[in-house]
């Protein structure tokens, strides 16, 4: 029995034969290998990227010199800087990916971001080398941001161009699962280190360990990605000699593509509070922003871990639902859910009680899971293969600068200036409305073949 049958996934073996000149569908075994490669790469990339947010207080002490509001501000500024570098990575990597192919570029990006992450763990403290410490952090964060700018759209395009039309969202959803499992792994590793070694050792030297773990993870991800073939859809373009000469110009001079890029900026608005506030910034928020109700770092990481387990379970279920009922309904329901539950759930979180905080973050994670499962599949399906990497990565990178990268910095500043620790709830509600409005302008893409041009 085929693996797809055992999993209860509709088989695509009996789909109609491809049109002349169209991409030849990959068999189930190759699709599974591509999905594993995309998922492992996503795990490595988002572990590297997320561990910075999870350990921001330790970075503030060692790299910026203190963990007061000024040190946290500067460290969160380093978080934002990497996002400002993402559009540059998206432009360059998108161009190369649409001109030369996805496979080798994605393997190279994994090496870059893993190397930059490991180097973060080797930066001497500010007490040792002075201002050079934060300067090195900024340079490495720029390299991480550049790499991430090309990674997201590339990995999603890679798996999407392998996946069968009728279960594309389900196959692509495992890339999102990989990113959240990476944060779960990072949270668990950090909690274990703090528990086993103590906060003093963590502050002194053990904070470096999670960053250095990027070395073996990066090697595994590179090995898996480098052994795959190019995607069927890009291969078909190459064989037809119809690869875009200048995909950036083609994407930015077409009204159709410009409209899709605009939608790509605003549709993932909820991704900023949903991903970066709920899962990356949340430990810092719980440890520093609740006044008398502040959590210890271990308890804060455990609260985050509970929400990560919930969303990892829910994402494949939401993706399968999307493959059955459509992308737009799942995105809309998720946005409405986030708008409705954000305020009451943050009220539970700010009580400072562990059980209520877990309940609040799990409810938010379940509400957000529909968006996390579907948004990248929708974005990939909006563009043809000839410009998919370029256009998708440009729009999404701009979106993350506006709605994602500034989130920890803005939230910390607003919480201090207003005295309200419910600011993240309002941010979640506002971006949910932006995403919901954008859904109204989308064309349903469920089950449609990917366009070539």
pLDDT digits (tens, 9 = 90+) for 152-209: 889 999 999 999 999 999 999 999 999 899 988 988 888 888 889 988 899 899 999 9
Report if pTM > 0.75.
yes
Taking each helix axis as running N to C, give the angle between helix 354-381 and helix 388-400, from 0 to 180 degrees, rounded to the nearest 10: 150
pLDDT of residue 292: 75
pLDDT digits (tens, 9 = 90+) for 20-42: 445 656 677 888 888 888 888 78
pLDDT digits (tens, 9 = 90+) for 262-292: 999 999 999 887 887 888 778 878 887 787 7
CB under 8 A, 24+ apart: contacts of 331-334 = 331/267, 331/370, 331/371, 331/374, 331/375, 331/378, 331/435, 331/439, 331/442, 332/436, 332/439, 333/370, 334/270, 334/367, 334/368, 334/369, 334/370, 334/371, 334/374
Closest by alpha carbon to 173, among 274, 309, 323?
A: 323
Instruction: Compute CA distances 142 → 88, 113, 352, whole Å.
Output: 10, 10, 35
Report whether pLDDT(309) > 80.
yes
């Amino acid at each position: 029995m085929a693996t797809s049958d055992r999993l209860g996934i509709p088989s695509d073996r009996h789909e109609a034969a491809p049109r002349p000149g169209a991409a030849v569908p990959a068999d189930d075994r190759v699709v599974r290998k591509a999905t594993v490669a995309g998922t492992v790469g996503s795990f490595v990339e988002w572990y590297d990227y997320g561990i910075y947010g999870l350990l921001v207080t330790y970075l503030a002490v060692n790299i910026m010199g203190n963990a007061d509001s000024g040190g946290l501000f500067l460290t969160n500024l380093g978080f934002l800087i990497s996002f400002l570098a993402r559009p540059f990575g998206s432009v360059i990597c998108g161009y190369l990916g649409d001109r030369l192919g996805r496979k080798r570029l994605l393997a190279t990006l994994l090496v870059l971001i893993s190397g930059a992450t490991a180097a973060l763990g080797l930066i001497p403290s500010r007490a040792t080398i002075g201002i050079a410490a934060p300067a090195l952090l900024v340079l490495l964060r720029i390299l991480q941001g550049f790499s991430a700018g090309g990674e997201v759209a590339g990995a999603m395009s890679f798996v999407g161009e392998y996946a069968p039309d009728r279960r594309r969202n389900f196959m692509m959803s495992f890339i999102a699962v990989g990113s959240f499992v990476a944060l779960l792994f990072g949270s668990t590793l950090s909690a274990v280190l703090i528990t086993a070694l103590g906060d003093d050792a963590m502050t002194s030297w053990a904070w470096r360990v999670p960053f250095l773990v990027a070395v073996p993870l990066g090697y595994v991800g590179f090995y898996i990605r480098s052994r795959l073939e190019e995607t069927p859809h890009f291969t078909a373009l190459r064989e037809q000699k119809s690869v875009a000469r200048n995909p950036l110009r083609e994407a930015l001079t077409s009204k159709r593509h410009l409209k899709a890029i605009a939608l790509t900026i605003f549709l993932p608005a909820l991704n900023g509070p949903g991903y970066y506030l709920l899962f990356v910034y949340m430990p810092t928020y719980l440890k520093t922003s609740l006044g008398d109700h502040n959590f210890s770092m271990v308890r804060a990481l455990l609260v985050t871990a509970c929400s990560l387990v919930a969303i990892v379970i829910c994402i494949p279920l939401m993706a399968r639902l999307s493959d059955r009922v459509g992308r737009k309904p799942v995105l809309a329901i998720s946005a409405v859910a986030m708008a409705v539950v954000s305020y009451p759930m943050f009220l539970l979180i700010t009580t400072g009680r562990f059980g209520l905080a877990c309940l609040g973050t799990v409810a938010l994670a379940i509400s957000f899971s529909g968006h996390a499962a579907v948004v990248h599949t929708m974005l990939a399906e909006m563009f043809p293969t000839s410009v998919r990497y370029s256009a998708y990565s440009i729009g999404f990178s701009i979106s993350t600068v506006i709605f994602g990268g500034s989130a920890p910095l803005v939230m910390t500043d607003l919480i201090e200036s207003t005295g309200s620790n419910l600011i993240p709830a309002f941010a979640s509600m506002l971006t949910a409305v932006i995403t919901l409005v954008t859904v109204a302008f989308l064309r349903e893409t469920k089950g449609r073949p990917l366009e070539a041009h």
